[in-house]
Structure 1
């Protein structure tokens, strides 16, 4: 796969991820936990079929003897699936997406404290600026009170669970390299997370009240907004460097806000826009500087190799 094609597919992935908000705004009768249940159930079904075709019978054999880290990762996926859908039923899509955008910086922070990775000054600066942006948005939501603040607090569980998940994945990969062995296949954790999310939210969603139209929209989300782009993202992670993927993932925020603005008339507040600009600006600056630094090191190594 060429780099240009990988970038184009990653943009498609973020476009698919971004439609959750606008589709949810057109539901008729499904409530918050029922929305989560149906999306997770259809996601689990699609992943079971997709992974079954990719991995064959060994998928189910590996699940029966899966190590604990796979189940911890699955629990993180379940929190992300559940908290995201509940959050967008409580507050604006823009506020949820801006809160989720701090995920890469939280991941860097967790890697520093739990994996002892060194963080450059630019990343510490980005964390500080993004913190100001989130704090600004939280402050205004707190003054508004009610479900708006609750929605942002629930949304905060998504980047926290994501940061824990990516830290686990980094730990698994580095441990395998240190031991010169094959790393644990963490892809089934995505399926585990979908199943856990569906099972946990079913009792909370009962009795089910979704209309046939609602179920069809949530089936679309489960298959095309979650299962397919998640499988694509895992494949693209073999081609694109992590900083570039993180930078491209920010398009989900822009696409998601645009979708609900144009498709549901949901205009983001000034506080959300200001906080979002701070968060996105910090992330873009951090990831762009990381790419420049990485290319600079590559040129330096190349010059060293061809030096007579």
Structure 2
């Protein structure tokens, strides 16, 4: 797969991911833990069918024998699946998606701390600006107390805290998948781990569903809700997550995390157009700071790379 095709597919992934917020706003009864359970359960079912068709009867044995890195990635997926839906039940779509926009910067920080990659001054500046954006949004929600005139959901500030679990887990996950995707020629163990990474998505869905079921019981979702959540599990989660696992073999971790931020724009737009959920001024300002930090960091990076390339041709 060429880099250009990988970027196009990653945009498709973000389009599919971005539908979660607007769909959940059209549910009748499912909320919180039950909402998370049904989506993760249908995600797991879709993955069992898809991976079972691709891998056959060996699927269960492959799950039992999966390497530790696959299980670690599975735990990251479980946190992402769970924290995202719980956060949506506590605060607005805009607040959740803006908080998730911290993923590229957290990915860069992980590369600095654990992989000892040096971070340029522009990245540290981007981290500072993005942090200010999240702090502004969080402070606004705390000031409203979750039930002020500008609040659109109870305990909105708690939703932001829960949503922070998504970029933290995704930063770890992108790094793990990128590491696994770097297959060394002749290294059978590395090749085996890379081919097993799609199993991590299934492991994450199963962990999320099993953890949420006791908390969601007794189930009260209507058939209308179950149908919508089934579509989310299969098409908003299972399909794009499998795609992104394969794309990490072509795109770098920070690159995946950056392109994933298109979900912020798409998700807020869908919620505004089809759910009537207008983002607050704090979310717009905070989100603007986060996205400005991300875009500015990448533009400066591309400018530096173009300068180095021009200098090398002289």
TM-score, with normalisation over the residues of structure 2?
0.88
| Structure 1 match to 2:152 | none
Query: Residue 105 of structure 2: SS of its match in structure 1?
Result: helix
Deviations 1:10-34 (A, max 9, x none): 2221111001000000000112111
Aligned CA distance change for structure 1 residues 158 and 242 (closer, same or farther; 3 Å): closer
Alpha-carbon distance, 1:171 to partner: 5.0
| Structure 2 match to 1:99 | 99
Aligned CA distance change for structure 1 residues 173 and 236 (closer, same or farther; 3 Å): closer
Query: Residue 40 of structure 1: SS of its match in structure 2?
Result: helix
- Contact 1:87–1:155 at 8 Å: present in 2 too? yes
| Structure 1 match to 2:6 | 6
TM-score, with normalisation over the residues of structure 1?
0.90
1:112-123 equivalent positions in 2, closer than 5 A? 112-123=112-123
Alpha-carbon distance, 1:71 to partner: 1.4
Whether 2:219 is the aligned partner of 1:213: answer no
| Structure 2 match to 1:282 | 293
| Structure 2 match to 1:140 | 140
- Contact 1:243–1:287 at 8 Å: present in 2 too? no
| Structure 2 match to 1:161 | 169
> In terms of mean alpha carbon deviation, does 263-272 or 242-251 score higher?
242-251
* Separation in 2, partners of 1:4, 1:178: 24
Query: Residue 35 of structure 1: SS of its match in structure 2?
Result: helix
* Separation in 1, partners of 2:107, 2:144: 30
Alpha-carbon distance, 1:160 to partner: 1.2
1:1-308 equivalent positions in 2, closer than 5 A? 1-146=1-146, 147-172=155-180, 177=184, 180=187, 182-183=189-190, 184-185=193-194, 186-297=197-308, 303=313
* Separation in 2, partners of 1:49, 1:276: 38
Aligned CA distance change for structure 1 residues 10 and 172 (closer, same or farther; 3 Å): closer
Query: Residue 152 of structure 1: SS of its match in structure 2?
Result: helix
- Contact 1:37–1:197 at 8 Å: present in 2 too? yes
* Separation in 1, partners of 2:264, 2:70: 28
> In terms of mean alpha carbon deviation, does 181-190 or 89-98 score higher?
181-190
- Contact 2:43–2:233 at 8 Å: present in 1 too? yes
* Separation in 1, partners of 2:305, 2:157: 39
* Separation in 2, partners of 1:293, 1:99: 28
* Separation in 2, partners of 1:99, 1:151: 10
Query: Residue 187 of structure 1: SS of its match in structure 2?
Result: helix
* Separation in 2, partners of 1:246, 1:159: 9
* Separation in 2, partners of 1:151, 1:14: 21
Query: Residue 242 of structure 2: SS of its match in structure 1?
Result: helix
* Separation in 1, partners of 2:221, 2:208: 18
- Contact 2:75–2:203 at 8 Å: present in 1 too? yes
